[in-house]
Amino acid sequence: MKRTRITALVMFALLTLISALPPGRALAAEKLLVATVTAAEEIAILAPHSGEIRPFTLEVGDQVSAGDTLFLIKPGEMLAQADGTVAVVHAGSGESASGAVSRYSAVLQIEHENRYELIISMRTGYNSVENRDLWVGTPVYLRSVNGEHFGLGTVISVTSGNMTVTVERGDLVYDEEVRAYRTEDYDAKALLGRAKPSLVPPHLVTAAGTILSMKVARGNKVKQGDLLFTYVPESLSPSERATKGAARATEALVISSVSALPGAQVQQGQTLARGLRASSMQLSAQAEEKDILSLVVGTEATVYFEELGLDPIPAKVSKVSALGTGDDIARYEVSFSLEAPAQVRFGMHATVQVP
Protein backbone atom coordinates (compact mmCIF):
# COMPACT_ATOMS: atom_id res chain seq x y z
CA MET A 1 0.00 0.00 0.00
CA LYS A 2 2.83 2.36 0.91
CA ARG A 3 4.76 1.45 -2.28
CA THR A 4 1.65 2.23 -4.38
CA ARG A 5 1.22 5.63 -2.71
CA ILE A 6 4.87 6.57 -3.16
CA THR A 7 4.74 5.52 -6.83
CA ALA A 8 1.65 7.65 -7.29
CA LEU A 9 3.44 10.64 -5.77
CA VAL A 10 6.34 10.23 -8.15
CA MET A 11 4.03 9.89 -11.15
CA PHE A 12 2.05 12.95 -10.09
CA ALA A 13 5.20 15.01 -9.70
CA LEU A 14 6.54 13.74 -12.99
CA LEU A 15 3.37 14.72 -14.84
CA THR A 16 3.43 18.13 -13.16
CA LEU A 17 7.01 18.70 -14.21
CA ILE A 18 6.38 17.52 -17.77
CA SER A 19 3.50 19.94 -18.15
CA ALA A 20 5.62 22.76 -16.79
CA LEU A 21 8.61 22.15 -19.04
CA PRO A 22 9.15 24.63 -21.86
CA PRO A 23 9.00 23.23 -25.43
CA GLY A 24 12.14 21.41 -26.43
CA ARG A 25 13.52 20.97 -22.88
CA ALA A 26 14.75 17.43 -22.17
CA LEU A 27 13.54 15.65 -19.03
CA ALA A 28 16.27 13.06 -18.97
CA ALA A 29 18.60 15.30 -16.98
CA GLU A 30 16.12 15.71 -14.12
CA LYS A 31 16.09 13.33 -11.14
CA LEU A 32 13.00 12.75 -9.01
CA LEU A 33 13.40 11.29 -5.54
CA VAL A 34 10.69 10.39 -3.05
CA ALA A 35 11.75 11.74 0.36
CA THR A 36 10.49 11.56 3.93
CA VAL A 37 10.64 14.33 6.51
CA THR A 38 13.07 13.26 9.22
CA ALA A 39 15.20 14.89 11.91
CA ALA A 40 18.92 15.45 11.66
CA GLU A 41 19.18 15.18 15.45
CA GLU A 42 17.42 13.17 18.13
CA ILE A 43 17.63 14.30 21.77
CA ALA A 44 17.59 11.94 24.77
CA ILE A 45 15.54 12.89 27.84
CA LEU A 46 17.53 11.73 30.88
CA ALA A 47 16.60 11.07 34.51
CA PRO A 48 18.02 13.89 36.69
CA HIS A 49 18.58 11.47 39.57
CA SER A 50 17.64 8.01 40.77
CA GLY A 51 14.15 7.30 42.05
CA GLU A 52 10.66 6.19 41.10
CA ILE A 53 8.92 7.58 38.02
CA ARG A 54 5.64 9.23 38.90
CA PRO A 55 2.61 8.72 36.61
CA PHE A 56 2.91 10.64 33.33
CA THR A 57 0.94 11.23 30.12
CA LEU A 58 3.74 11.69 27.58
CA GLU A 59 3.25 9.69 24.36
CA VAL A 60 5.03 9.15 21.08
CA GLY A 61 4.13 11.96 18.67
CA ASP A 62 3.58 14.61 21.36
CA GLN A 63 4.97 18.06 20.61
CA VAL A 64 6.74 19.64 23.58
CA SER A 65 8.31 23.04 24.13
CA ALA A 66 11.50 24.07 25.87
CA GLY A 67 11.03 23.92 29.64
CA ASP A 68 8.07 21.53 29.59
CA THR A 69 8.15 18.96 32.40
CA LEU A 70 8.01 15.51 30.82
CA PHE A 71 8.68 13.29 33.84
CA LEU A 72 8.88 13.64 37.62
CA ILE A 73 11.19 11.40 39.62
CA LYS A 74 10.15 10.64 43.19
CA PRO A 75 13.16 10.66 45.53
CA GLY A 76 13.83 8.26 48.37
CA GLU A 77 12.00 8.92 51.64
CA MET A 78 13.52 8.39 55.06
CA LEU A 79 10.91 7.54 57.70
CA ALA A 80 11.33 7.60 61.45
CA GLN A 81 12.05 4.18 62.95
CA ALA A 82 11.65 5.28 66.56
CA ASP A 83 9.38 7.50 68.65
CA GLY A 84 11.13 10.42 70.24
CA THR A 85 12.48 13.92 69.81
CA VAL A 86 14.83 15.15 67.11
CA ALA A 87 17.98 15.97 69.06
CA VAL A 88 20.17 17.32 66.28
CA VAL A 89 20.13 17.65 62.48
CA HIS A 90 23.54 17.38 60.84
CA ALA A 91 22.56 18.02 57.19
CA GLY A 92 19.86 20.24 55.70
CA SER A 93 18.15 20.51 52.33
CA GLY A 94 20.64 20.41 49.48
CA GLU A 95 23.48 19.17 51.65
CA SER A 96 25.43 15.94 51.56
CA ALA A 97 24.01 13.06 53.56
CA SER A 98 27.20 11.10 52.98
CA GLY A 99 29.29 13.94 54.39
CA ALA A 100 27.16 14.16 57.53
CA VAL A 101 27.39 10.42 58.12
CA SER A 102 31.15 10.52 57.61
CA ARG A 103 31.55 13.37 60.11
CA TYR A 104 28.81 12.68 62.68
CA SER A 105 27.81 9.05 61.96
CA ALA A 106 24.27 10.21 61.15
CA VAL A 107 22.17 12.66 59.15
CA LEU A 108 20.15 13.32 62.29
CA GLN A 109 19.70 11.84 65.75
CA ILE A 110 16.49 11.05 67.60
CA GLU A 111 16.35 10.85 71.39
CA HIS A 112 14.12 7.91 72.23
CA GLU A 113 10.83 8.62 73.92
CA ASN A 114 11.96 6.14 76.58
CA ARG A 115 15.45 7.41 77.29
CA TYR A 116 16.26 5.17 80.24
CA GLU A 117 16.86 1.47 80.59
CA LEU A 118 17.96 -0.83 83.39
CA ILE A 119 20.52 -3.57 82.96
CA ILE A 120 19.78 -5.80 85.94
CA SER A 121 21.69 -8.74 87.35
CA MET A 122 19.25 -11.38 88.61
CA ARG A 123 21.64 -12.09 91.46
CA THR A 124 20.48 -8.83 93.06
CA GLY A 125 16.87 -10.07 93.24
CA TYR A 126 14.93 -12.63 95.25
CA ASN A 127 15.97 -16.12 94.20
CA SER A 128 12.88 -17.96 92.95
CA VAL A 129 11.81 -19.83 89.84
CA GLU A 130 9.24 -17.14 89.03
CA ASN A 131 11.87 -14.41 89.19
CA ARG A 132 14.39 -16.29 87.05
CA ASP A 133 12.09 -17.70 84.37
CA LEU A 134 11.27 -14.38 82.69
CA TRP A 135 9.94 -13.69 79.22
CA VAL A 136 10.64 -10.74 76.95
CA GLY A 137 7.63 -8.44 77.20
CA THR A 138 7.05 -9.06 80.91
CA PRO A 139 5.82 -5.84 82.61
CA VAL A 140 8.02 -4.59 85.45
CA TYR A 141 7.13 -2.28 88.35
CA LEU A 142 9.88 0.10 89.38
CA ARG A 143 10.55 1.94 92.62
CA SER A 144 13.55 3.92 93.80
CA VAL A 145 15.48 2.63 96.79
CA ASN A 146 14.28 5.54 98.93
CA GLY A 147 10.67 4.81 97.90
CA GLU A 148 10.07 8.32 96.50
CA HIS A 149 10.08 7.67 92.74
CA PHE A 150 8.18 5.13 90.69
CA GLY A 151 7.93 3.89 87.14
CA LEU A 152 6.79 1.17 84.76
CA GLY A 153 8.94 -0.82 82.37
CA THR A 154 9.09 -3.84 80.10
CA VAL A 155 11.64 -6.61 79.82
CA ILE A 156 13.20 -6.28 76.35
CA SER A 157 15.95 -8.89 76.64
CA VAL A 158 16.88 -11.81 78.88
CA THR A 159 20.27 -13.50 78.98
CA SER A 160 21.87 -15.90 81.41
CA GLY A 161 21.67 -14.12 84.75
CA ASN A 162 20.80 -10.68 83.32
CA MET A 163 17.85 -8.79 81.92
CA THR A 164 17.32 -5.42 80.25
CA VAL A 165 14.28 -3.33 81.13
CA THR A 166 13.18 -0.28 79.16
CA VAL A 167 11.65 2.46 81.32
CA GLU A 168 8.38 3.58 79.76
CA ARG A 169 6.70 5.76 82.38
CA GLY A 170 7.39 7.33 85.74
CA ASP A 171 9.48 9.94 87.52
CA LEU A 172 12.66 7.99 88.13
CA VAL A 173 15.82 10.00 88.66
CA TYR A 174 18.85 9.24 86.52
CA ASP A 175 21.69 7.56 88.44
CA GLU A 176 19.45 6.79 91.43
CA GLU A 177 19.27 3.08 92.19
CA VAL A 178 15.97 1.44 91.28
CA ARG A 179 14.42 -1.86 92.28
CA ALA A 180 12.42 -3.85 89.77
CA TYR A 181 9.47 -6.02 90.83
CA ARG A 182 7.37 -8.61 89.10
CA THR A 183 4.19 -7.49 90.92
CA GLU A 184 2.70 -4.06 91.38
CA ASP A 185 2.51 -4.43 95.17
CA TYR A 186 6.35 -4.40 95.31
CA ASP A 187 6.37 -7.64 97.30
CA ALA A 188 9.87 -8.52 98.48
CA LYS A 189 9.57 -12.03 97.02
CA ALA A 190 8.79 -10.49 93.61
CA LEU A 191 12.04 -8.49 93.53
CA LEU A 192 13.75 -9.16 90.20
CA GLY A 193 16.84 -7.13 90.94
CA ARG A 194 18.17 -3.61 91.20
CA ALA A 195 20.26 -1.26 89.07
CA LYS A 196 20.81 2.39 88.25
CA PRO A 197 19.11 3.79 85.12
CA SER A 198 21.38 4.27 82.12
CA LEU A 199 20.77 6.40 79.05
CA VAL A 200 19.73 4.72 75.82
CA PRO A 201 21.93 6.01 72.95
CA PRO A 202 20.06 8.20 70.45
CA HIS A 203 18.71 6.57 67.32
CA LEU A 204 21.08 7.41 64.45
CA VAL A 205 19.43 8.04 61.08
CA THR A 206 21.81 7.44 58.19
CA ALA A 207 21.61 7.83 54.41
CA ALA A 208 23.94 8.22 51.43
CA GLY A 209 23.85 10.84 48.69
CA THR A 210 22.17 14.25 48.80
CA ILE A 211 19.36 15.55 51.01
CA LEU A 212 16.69 17.10 48.80
CA SER A 213 14.29 18.27 51.49
CA MET A 214 14.69 18.10 55.27
CA LYS A 215 11.25 17.83 56.88
CA VAL A 216 12.14 18.07 60.59
CA ALA A 217 14.11 20.36 62.87
CA ARG A 218 15.70 20.09 66.27
CA GLY A 219 13.11 19.64 69.01
CA ASN A 220 10.39 18.19 66.78
CA LYS A 221 8.47 15.22 68.17
CA VAL A 222 8.32 12.27 65.77
CA LYS A 223 6.54 8.94 65.65
CA GLN A 224 7.50 5.80 63.78
CA GLY A 225 6.60 6.25 60.10
CA ASP A 226 6.88 10.05 60.09
CA LEU A 227 8.74 11.51 57.09
CA LEU A 228 12.13 12.86 58.15
CA PHE A 229 13.66 13.84 54.80
CA THR A 230 13.82 13.02 51.11
CA TYR A 231 17.08 12.13 49.43
CA VAL A 232 18.77 10.63 46.38
CA PRO A 233 21.78 8.30 46.46
CA GLU A 234 23.84 10.50 44.11
CA SER A 235 25.95 13.52 44.93
CA LEU A 236 24.10 16.28 43.06
CA SER A 237 25.44 19.60 41.83
CA PRO A 238 23.45 22.79 42.57
CA SER A 239 22.00 22.78 39.04
CA GLU A 240 20.97 19.13 39.39
CA ARG A 241 19.28 19.84 42.73
CA ALA A 242 17.43 22.76 41.13
CA THR A 243 15.54 20.37 38.83
CA LYS A 244 13.55 19.12 41.86
CA GLY A 245 13.25 15.75 40.18
CA ALA A 246 11.81 17.07 36.92
CA ALA A 247 13.07 15.82 33.55
CA ARG A 248 12.36 18.76 31.22
CA ALA A 249 12.60 19.37 27.50
CA THR A 250 15.60 21.55 26.72
CA GLU A 251 14.08 22.69 23.41
CA ALA A 252 11.13 22.12 21.09
CA LEU A 253 10.81 18.41 20.33
CA VAL A 254 8.51 15.81 18.84
CA ILE A 255 8.61 12.69 21.00
CA SER A 256 9.84 9.72 18.97
CA SER A 257 10.02 7.05 21.69
CA VAL A 258 9.17 6.59 25.38
CA SER A 259 11.07 3.93 27.32
CA ALA A 260 10.04 4.93 30.86
CA LEU A 261 7.23 3.21 32.75
CA PRO A 262 5.19 4.78 35.58
CA GLY A 263 6.28 3.43 38.95
CA ALA A 264 9.55 2.02 37.64
CA GLN A 265 12.86 2.64 39.38
CA VAL A 266 15.41 4.53 37.30
CA GLN A 267 19.03 5.53 37.71
CA GLN A 268 20.53 8.96 37.22
CA GLY A 269 21.28 9.55 33.53
CA GLN A 270 18.98 6.77 32.32
CA THR A 271 17.17 7.54 29.06
CA LEU A 272 13.44 8.04 29.68
CA ALA A 273 12.39 9.15 26.19
CA ARG A 274 13.76 10.50 22.92
CA GLY A 275 12.60 13.44 20.87
CA LEU A 276 13.20 14.74 17.36
CA ARG A 277 14.67 18.23 17.40
CA ALA A 278 12.06 20.41 15.70
CA SER A 279 14.70 22.80 14.41
CA SER A 280 16.60 19.99 12.65
CA MET A 281 13.90 19.04 10.13
CA GLN A 282 15.31 17.57 6.92
CA LEU A 283 14.37 15.30 4.02
CA SER A 284 15.76 11.80 3.59
CA ALA A 285 15.64 9.97 0.25
CA GLN A 286 17.12 6.88 -1.42
CA ALA A 287 19.15 7.42 -4.59
CA GLU A 288 20.31 4.70 -6.95
CA GLU A 289 23.99 4.14 -7.59
CA LYS A 290 23.75 5.55 -11.13
CA ASP A 291 22.70 8.93 -9.69
CA ILE A 292 24.92 9.10 -6.65
CA LEU A 293 27.94 10.74 -8.32
CA SER A 294 25.92 13.81 -9.25
CA LEU A 295 24.50 14.20 -5.74
CA VAL A 296 27.13 16.00 -3.71
CA VAL A 297 26.84 18.17 -0.62
CA GLY A 298 25.59 21.58 -1.69
CA THR A 299 23.69 20.39 -4.77
CA GLU A 300 20.52 22.47 -5.07
CA ALA A 301 17.10 20.86 -5.39
CA THR A 302 13.41 21.70 -5.39
CA VAL A 303 10.92 20.08 -3.03
CA TYR A 304 7.23 19.49 -3.76
CA PHE A 305 4.75 18.66 -0.97
CA GLU A 306 1.95 17.64 -3.31
CA GLU A 307 -0.43 16.55 -0.55
CA LEU A 308 -0.19 19.94 1.16
CA GLY A 309 -0.52 22.06 -1.96
CA LEU A 310 2.48 24.20 -1.02
CA ASP A 311 4.61 26.21 -3.40
CA PRO A 312 7.91 24.59 -4.39
CA ILE A 313 10.55 24.86 -1.66
CA PRO A 314 14.30 25.17 -2.30
CA ALA A 315 16.61 22.61 -0.69
CA LYS A 316 20.23 21.50 -0.74
CA VAL A 317 21.97 18.17 -0.37
CA SER A 318 23.41 18.14 3.18
CA LYS A 319 24.71 14.58 3.41
CA VAL A 320 25.25 11.53 1.21
CA SER A 321 25.77 8.14 2.84
CA ALA A 322 28.95 6.31 1.88
CA LEU A 323 27.31 2.92 2.47
CA GLY A 324 24.77 1.56 0.03
CA THR A 325 22.10 -1.08 0.58
CA GLY A 326 20.34 -3.46 -1.78
CA ASP A 327 21.25 -6.58 -3.76
CA ASP A 328 20.92 -5.86 -7.48
CA ILE A 329 20.99 -2.07 -7.42
CA ALA A 330 22.62 -0.27 -4.51
CA ARG A 331 20.74 2.61 -2.95
CA TYR A 332 22.28 5.38 -0.87
CA GLU A 333 20.58 7.62 1.66
CA VAL A 334 20.67 11.29 0.74
CA SER A 335 19.71 14.07 3.15
CA PHE A 336 18.41 17.48 2.10
CA SER A 337 18.31 20.62 4.24
CA LEU A 338 15.41 23.03 3.84
CA GLU A 339 13.41 25.74 5.57
CA ALA A 340 10.25 23.77 6.25
CA PRO A 341 6.93 25.66 6.50
CA ALA A 342 4.84 25.29 9.65
CA GLN A 343 2.49 22.86 7.89
CA VAL A 344 5.23 20.28 7.40
CA ARG A 345 5.53 17.52 10.01
CA PHE A 346 7.89 14.64 10.63
CA GLY A 347 7.00 11.55 8.61
CA MET A 348 5.41 13.41 5.69
CA HIS A 349 6.43 12.56 2.12
CA ALA A 350 7.66 14.88 -0.59
CA THR A 351 9.10 14.71 -4.08
CA VAL A 352 12.57 16.15 -4.59
CA GLN A 353 13.60 17.36 -8.04
CA VAL A 354 17.35 17.49 -8.60
CA PRO A 355 18.75 19.10 -11.78
Under 8 Å CB-to-CB from 223, ≥6 apart: which residues?
Answer: 80, 83
- pLDDT of 11 strictly over 80: no
- Sheet strand arrangement including 271-277: 42-46, 271-277, 253-258, 63-64
pLDDT confidence bin for 6, thresholds 50/70/90: very low
Domain count, the chain: 3
pLDDT in tens, 192-210: 999 999 999 999 999 999 9
| pTM of the shown model | 0.73
CATH number at residue 11: 2.40.30.170
pLDDT at 293: 86
- pLDDT of 317 strictly over 50: yes
Average of per-residue pLDDT across 105-111: 98
- pLDDT of 301 strictly over 60: yes
143 and 253, same structural domain?
no
Neighbours of 331 (CB within 10 A): 16
- pLDDT of 63 strictly over 70: yes
180 and 123, same structural domain?
yes
254 and 343, same structural domain?
yes
Q: Which amino acid is at 129?
A: V
pLDDT at 88: 98
Report in angstroms the alpha-carbon separations of 65 from 54, 62, 68, 251: 20, 10, 6, 6
99 and 141, same structural domain?
no
Average of per-residue pLDDT across 231-260: 94
286 and 225, same structural domain?
no
Quote the CA–CA distance of 204 and 112 in Å, as a whole number.
10
Quote the CA–CA distance of 124 and 328 in Å, as a whole number.
101
306 and 209, same structural domain?
no
23 and 10, same structural domain?
yes
Answer whether 195's CB lies under 8 Å from 177's CB. Answer: yes
- pLDDT of 353 strictly over 60: yes
**Burial, 49: exposed, middle or buried (Cβ in 10 Å; 0-12, 13-18, 19+)?**
buried
- Sheet strand arrangement including 76-79: 76-79, 227-232, 210-214
Domain-embedded: residue 240: no
Residue 190 DSSP symbol: G
pLDDT at 25: 34
Indicate the range of 23-27, 46-50, 264-268, 305-309 predicted with least confidence.
Answer: 23-27
- pLDDT of 112 strictly over 80: yes
| One-character DSSP codes across 279-343 | GGEEEEEEEETTTGGG--TT-EEEEE-TTTTPPPEEEEEEEE-S--B-SSS-EEEEEEEE---TT
Domain-embedded: residue 311: yes
Q: Between 160 and 120, where is the model more confident?
A: 120
Quote the CA–CA distance of 318 and 300 in Å, as a whole number.
10
- pLDDT of 109 strictly over 70: yes
CATH number at residue 221: 2.40.50.100
Domain coverage including residue 265: 1-49+57-70+249-355
Domain-embedded: residue 285: yes
pLDDT at 1: 46
219 and 353, same structural domain?
no
Indicate the range of 211-220, 236-245, 257-266, 295-304 predicted with least confidence.
Answer: 236-245
Of the chain, the percentage scoring pLDDT greater than 90 comes to: 83
- pLDDT of 54 strictly over 50: yes
Radius of gyration over alpha carbons of the chain, in Å?
Answer: 38
pLDDT at 20: 43
Domain-embedded: residue 242: no
- pLDDT of 24 strictly over 70: no
pLDDT confidence bin for 29, thresholds 50/70/90: low
Quote the CA–CA distance of 76 and 234 in Å, as a whole number.
11
133 and 190, same structural domain?
yes
pLDDT in tens, 173-193: 888 999 999 999 999 999 999
Calculate the average pLDDT of the chain: 91
4 and 144, same structural domain?
no
Answer whether 184's CB lies under 8 Å from 209's CB. Answer: no
pLDDT at 326: 85
133 and 276, same structural domain?
no
pLDDT at 259: 97
pLDDT at 174: 84
Report in angstroms the alpha-carbon separations of 319 from 32, 103, 131, 348: 17, 57, 91, 19
